[in-house]
Amino acid sequence: MAKLEPTHAKLMEELYQRVKDNFDGGVQWYGETVKLDLEARNLIAGTQTKRFLVDFRYS
């Protein structure tokens, strides 16, 4: 199980780089929506350093 703690900016930049060529619309806007949904489902969590604990078991 891989776990990372990327910053919000790095999380959104990684998302953008992975889908920019195959996605119409605001990648980072949709990414933020998905991030908030994953936080609500307790699949990711913000940390005190403003990083996000990402558990890639669900990717």
Q: Is the dihedral of CA 20, 29, 4, 2 positive or negative?
A: negative
Q: What pTM, to 2 d.p., does this model score?
A: 0.64
Q: Model confidence over 19-45: pLDDT tens digits?
A: 999 999 999 899 999 888 988 898 877
Number of Cβ atoms within 10 Å of the Cβ of 43: 13
Say what the pLDDT of residue 45 is: 77
The domain tally of the chain equals 1
For 33, the domain range is 3-58
Identify the CA nearest to 1 among candidates 47, 51, 50, 43: 43
Averaged pLDDT of the chain: 79
12: amino acid identity, one letter: M
